[in-house]
């Protein structure tokens, strides 16, 4: 009965914590679906808005934004059982924490969705069960390296051997999720600079925009840092080119952006 | 505090600023609490009109229905419901993609079980 009242009443009084608890603990699939819809209704506008912002630089922006939004929620619900609010975090921060977590997942979703969006190239990933081959923290696909399946950002690692057995052993390596969600900004960016960046992006081709955003997503804009092998391989496959050429395109694109953004 | 970005930065600093600006400017999703707050300051009051496909998450219904019925093959009657919900004569692309994915997963599961 209570559930019916909440479904019919658009405005729910459920807190973020209650929704997350419901999503994680609820065993009945129908009741779980109720919590999924509550979570979805609460955050879909935010995710779609972010997706529209991201997609505005690409052809068929609305379709891309829709796909990114759907993929983000699908991935989020797959890894929600690993999510928890850190003890002591103020309730007023919960919404921001969830949005930043969804942002991590959405940026990873963009990579996959954009590949499908621009052509029919599919990067084959061996998987028998979706839950076992995505990072439980950021929702990104795991890649295989030396008999381990790892997350590109270093959140999660599981050995290939144990993945195939009934009881996988999980090792958490690298960054704690909540530490990464609370990075202090080193510098605040003025609107003037953002406009210059937008002007620079408007002058780039789709390919250049895509490549530079993949680098930015992995925090590799700095020339001294290298893109992950998996992302580089995916870009090479999409654009049928060599890693050196991708790096060359990135450098030229970055030089163009710098010229516009840092010229008075 | 908004630091005015000048032209006296070295290459490395310029690259760092550009990377930060990609998130702050909405070119990528914000990934930290502070970035989200900044994003909301700039875009929080912008209204978005959700497209029909997102107003009601039929894709979630489809995913959950598979779990409830434990059906590996995608049921035809649900496809029809999806098409009517979208008010179109053809199946939406996201439904077709889900069908293909389900077929692929069911084939893989069958192979895995045979081992």
Identify the residue with better confidence: A126 or A254. Answer: A254
Model confidence pLDDT, tens digit, residues B61-77 = 766 665 555 444 444 44
Residue appearing with tokens 């019916």? A4
Taking CB atoms and an 8 Å limit, are B18 and A194 in contact across chains? Answer: no
Contacts of residue B11 in chain A, CB cutoff 8 Å?
223, 258
Q: For residue A184, is pLDDT > 50?
A: yes
Q: Are A33 and A40 in contact (CB under 8 A)?
A: no
Interface check for A120 against chain B (CB to CB < 8 A): the answer is: no
CA distance B12 to chain A (A): 6
Q: Are B74 and B99 in contact (CB under 8 A)?
A: yes
| Mean pLDDT of the region A18-44 | 90
Contacts of A3 (CB under 8 A, 6+ apart): A31, A34
Which pLDDT score is estimated for A46?
94
A149 pairs with which residues across the strands?
A144, A158
Q: Rounded distance, CA A148 to CA A80, Å?
A: 23
Model confidence pLDDT, tens digit, residues A93-130 = 999 999 999 999 999 899 888 887 776 444 444 333 44
Q: Are A201 and A57 in contact (CB under 8 A)?
A: yes
Q: Rounded distance, CA A259 to CA A257, Å?
A: 5
Q: Where are the domains of chain B?
A: 11-43, 52-114
Q: For residue A161, is pLDDT > 60?
A: no
How sure is the predictor about A263, in pLDDT bands with cuts at 50, 70 and 90? confident
Closest listed residue to residue B59, CA positions, set A43, A72, A80: A72
Ranges of beta strands (E only) in chain A are 143-145, 148-150, 156-159, 170-172
Ranges of beta strands (E only) in A176-254 are none
Taking CB atoms and an 8 Å limit, are A49 and B48 in contact across chains? Answer: yes
Phi, psi of A112 (to 5 degrees): -70, -45
Q: Are A22 and A35 in contact (CB under 8 A)?
A: yes
Q: Is A110 helix (H, G, I), strand (E, B) or coil?
A: helix
What is the model's pTM? 0.71
Q: Rounded distance, CA A216 to CA B1, Å?
A: 24
Sheet order of strands, A170-172 included: A143-145, A148-150, A156-159, A170-172
- What is the average pLDDT score of chain A? 79
Residues 125-154 of A with CB under 8 A from B: 127-128, 130
Contacts of A120 (CB under 8 A, 6+ apart): none
CA distance A258 to chain B (A): 7
Model confidence pLDDT, tens digit, residues A36-67 = 999 999 999 999 999 999 998 888 888 899 99
Instruction: Report strand pairing: A156-159 vs A148-150.
Output: antiparallel
Model confidence pLDDT, tens digit, residues B87-114 = 556 667 777 788 888 777 777 766 655 4
Model confidence pLDDT, tens digit, residues B11-66 = 888 998 998 889 888 899 998 888 888 888 887 777 788 998 898 888 777 666 65
B74 pairs with which residues across the strands?
none
CATH number of A124-183: 2.20.25
Token pair recorded at residue A98: 């969830």
Determine the straight-line distance between the first and last CA of chain B, rounded to whole angstroms.
61
Q: Where are the domains of chain A?
A: 1-122, 124-183, 191-261
């Amino acid at each position: 009965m209570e559930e019916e009242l909440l479904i019919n009443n658009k405005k729910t009084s459920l807190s973020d914590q209650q929704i997350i608890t419901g999503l994680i603990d609820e065993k009945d699939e129908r009741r779980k679906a109720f919590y999924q819809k509550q979570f979805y209704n609460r955050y879909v506008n935010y995710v779609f808005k972010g997706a529209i912002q991201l997609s505005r630089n690409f052809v068929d922006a609305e379709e891309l934004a829709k796909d990114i939004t759907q993929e983000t929620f699908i991935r989020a619900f797959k890894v929600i059982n690993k999510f928890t609010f850190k003890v002591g975090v103020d309730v007023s921060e919960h919404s921001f924490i969830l949005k930043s977590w969804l942002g991590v997942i959405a940026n990873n979703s963009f990579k996959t969705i954009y590949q499908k969006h621009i052509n029919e190239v599919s990067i084959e990933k061996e998987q028998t069960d979706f839950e076992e081959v995505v990072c439980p923290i950021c929702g990104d696909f795991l890649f295989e390296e030396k008999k381990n399946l790892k997350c590109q950002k270093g959140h999660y690692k599981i050995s290939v051997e144990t993945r195939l057995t009934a009881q996988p052993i999980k090792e958490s390596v690298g960054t704690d999720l909540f530490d990464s969600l609370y990075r202090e900004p080193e510098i605040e960016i003025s609107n003037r600079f953002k406009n210059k960046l937008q002007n620079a992006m408007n002058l780039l081709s789709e390919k250049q925009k895509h490549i530079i955003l993949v680098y930015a997503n992995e925090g590799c804009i700095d020339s001294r840092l290298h893109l992950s092998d998996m992302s580089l391989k995916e870009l090479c496959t999409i654009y049928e080119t060599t890693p050196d050429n991708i790096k060359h395109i990135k450098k030229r694109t970055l030089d163009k952006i710098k010229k516009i953004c840092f010229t008075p | 505090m908004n630091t005015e970005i000048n032209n006296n930065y070295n290459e490395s600093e310029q690259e760092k600023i550009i990377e930060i600006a990609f998130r702050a400017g909405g070119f990528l999703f914000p990934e930290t609490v502070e970035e989200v707050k900044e994003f909301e300051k700039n875009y929080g009051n912008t209204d978005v009109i959700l497209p029909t496909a997102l107003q009601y998450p039929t894709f979630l219904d489809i995913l959950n229905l598979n779990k409830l019925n434990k059906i590996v093959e995608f049921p035809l009657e649900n496809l029809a419901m999806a098409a009517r919900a979208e008010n179109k004569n053809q199946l939406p692309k996201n439904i077709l993609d889900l069908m293909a994915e389900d077929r692929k997963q069911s084939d893989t599961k069958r192979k895995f079980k045979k081992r």
